[in-house]
Homo-oligomer: A and B are copies of this chain.
Amino acid sequence: MSANTILLDFSLDPARINDEESRKDIVKLCKDNLEKYLVGLKLTYDMLTSDGYLCMLNETGSGTIVTIRFFQQGLITINVEYYRKDGDQPIISFEQIRELENHLVQKLKFNHGQSLPPLQRGPLTRFFPTADERVIEYDIDRVLYDQRSDFQKIQIVHSKSLGNMLVLDELQNISEADLIYTETLMCRGVEDYAGKEICILGGGDGALLYELLKEKPKHVVMLEIDEMVMQACNKYMNSICGDVLERLNDDRYEIILGDCMVYLNKFISDGRKFDYVFGDLTDIPISDTPTGEIWDFIRVILESSFKVLKPTGKFMTHGNGVSCPDSLEMYEKQLAKLTPKVTFTKSTAFVPSFMEEWVFYQVQREDANAAGSV
């Protein structure tokens, strides 16, 4: 079940908005043309707003409601909303919406028209944002898992083109089509993990652990706080995590359930050292300044990671979308302030489930080369 919302908008000379007669003509022509698809539209309400005019039309005998709004700045929005049963045809197809838009633009000599495919609103979340907050509609057709843990809302949904997809707090996280994400995070083919000691901070979906183990490291320890994410991925995301989430350890790896900061501190006091630390935790926040709880967390993670890295070790992490250069720059400024002094490289990849190009960082002590190569 879903409510369908059809959105059209038109730009025109503001004078035509503010003239009552002209407005009436526009409403009449919109109504006449909408009646090609909707039976017997009746004006049920109208009002002058502080910035224009609004009227509401109801289709006879149905719940279809059309709202036409005039903005004095020279804009008209038309919203059509109705309930659509599963399996029912839309009352107006996208092709017809576009026809309607083009017809109105030509008949009413509007400067510009725009129309969106009907938006489906209901119990299946189909819309996720890009890093720069554009909307993307995914071809989600079912929810496989939907639970709230102590830490976050966890969902596994199925996308026709991406396969199963992990969604954390309503943000797309990783899908079965995202091997490139893990490979770019770990710089496969560039870094040599054979015989190395590795620590993963986070990584509950298991994909990074699974891919790293293929490279024959000496040992991997993974610190993940949310057991429910692991259980969900172990059940529904086997193509990306294999069987690594089946058990908490074998001779190649250990998964420690808990707050990664607690265990990082323990490693520091124990003097335990790694060749690689992966920050597979939160993304770099999109914010105006590098302040607040998440930025503090990011700084602490960086500092602590370098305390458990060998002098030649590398900190590897995902950043954010290339569409958010300001946030990436803020992150790089934090790197510049780190003790010890570090240098970094970047890798990027178009991540299918993000529908955008993503940036990954590889951070190393400035004096690493003097200490010998990894």
Binds B, one of A115-123, A257-265, A298-306: A115-123
The answer to whether B75 touches A63, judged by C-beta atoms less than 8 angstroms apart, is no
Chain B residues with CB below 8 A from A65, complex form = 49, 54, 69
User: Is A3 an interface position by the 8 A CB rule?
Assistant: yes
A183 at the interface (CB under 8 A from B): no
The interface bits of chain A over 130-170 (1 if a CB of B lies within 8 angstroms of the residue's CB, else 0) are: 10111111110000000000000000000011000000001
A37 beta carbon closer than 8 Å to chain B: no
Residues B323 and A161 in contact, CB atoms below 8 Å apart: yes
Whether, in the assembled complex, A272 has its beta carbon less than 8 Å from a beta carbon of chain B, the answer is: no
Identify which of B3, B44, B77, B117 contacts A69 (C-beta below 8 A).
B3
**Interface pair A94/B129, CB less than 8 Å apart:** yes
Question: Bound complex: CA of A333 vs CA of B86, how far in Å?
Answer: 30
On whether the beta carbons of B73 and A83 are closer than 8 Å, the reply is: yes
CB distance from A123 to the nearest CB of B (A): 4
* Contact yes or no, B161 A357, CB < 8 A: yes
Verify if A227 is at the interface (C-beta below 8 Å from B). Answer: no
Cα(A62)–Cα(B75), bound, Å: 16
- Determine if A5 and B7 form an interchain contact, defined as CB atoms under 8 angstroms apart: yes
Q: Which residues of B contact A52 (CB under 8 A)?
A: 63
Q: Is A322 among interface residues, defined by CB-CB distance under 8 A?
A: yes
In the assembly, what is the distance between CA of A49 and CA of B45, in Å? Answer: 13
B117 with A134: CB separation less than 8 A: yes
Q: Is the CB of B49 within 8 A of A58?
A: yes
Identify which of A5, A44, A58 gathers the most chain B CB atoms within 10 Å of its CB.
A5
Output the least CB separation between A51 and chain B (Å).
4
Q: Which residue of the partner chain B has the closest CB to A85?
A: B73
Q: In residues 71-123 of chain A, which contact B (Cβ within 8 Å)?
A: 71, 73-75, 77, 79, 81, 83, 94, 98, 111-112, 114, 116-117, 119, 121-123
Stretch at the interface among A203-211, A212-220, A348-356: A348-356
Nearest chain B CB to A250 CB, angstrom units: 36
Query: Which residues of chain B have C-beta atoms less than 8 A from A112's C-beta?
Result: 123, 125
A11 adjacent to chain B (CB < 8 Å): yes
Q: Is B139 in contact with A134, judged by CB distance below 8 angstroms? A: yes
* A336 proximal to B (CB < 8 A): no
A50 at the A/B interface (Cβ < 8 Å)? yes
B3 and A77 contacting across the interface, CB-CB below 8 Å: yes
By the criterion CB–CB under 8 Å, are A137 and B136 in contact?
yes
Bits for A10-29, please: 1 = Cβ < 8 Å to B, else 0. 01000000000000000000
Q: Are B63 and A81 in contact (CB under 8 A)?
A: no
In the complex formed, the residue of B with least CB distance to A110 is B123
In the complex, A275 has a CB within 8 A of chain B:
no
Some 29 contacts from A to B, beta carbons below 8 A apart, are A3-B9, A3-B71, A3-B77, A7-B121, A45-B56, A49-B58, A49-B65, A51-B63, A65-B69, A75-B121, A77-B81, A79-B79, A94-B129, A98-B170, A111-B123, A114-B121, A114-B125, A116-B119, A116-B135, A117-B129, A117-B135, A119-B135, A134-B136, A134-B137, A135-B135, A135-B137, A136-B355, A161-B357, A350-B350
Q: A45-B56, A114-B125, A130-B137 are in contact. List 8 more A-B contacts (CB 8 A).
A: A5-B7, A11-B122, A51-B83, A52-B63, A75-B121, A77-B81, A114-B126, A134-B136
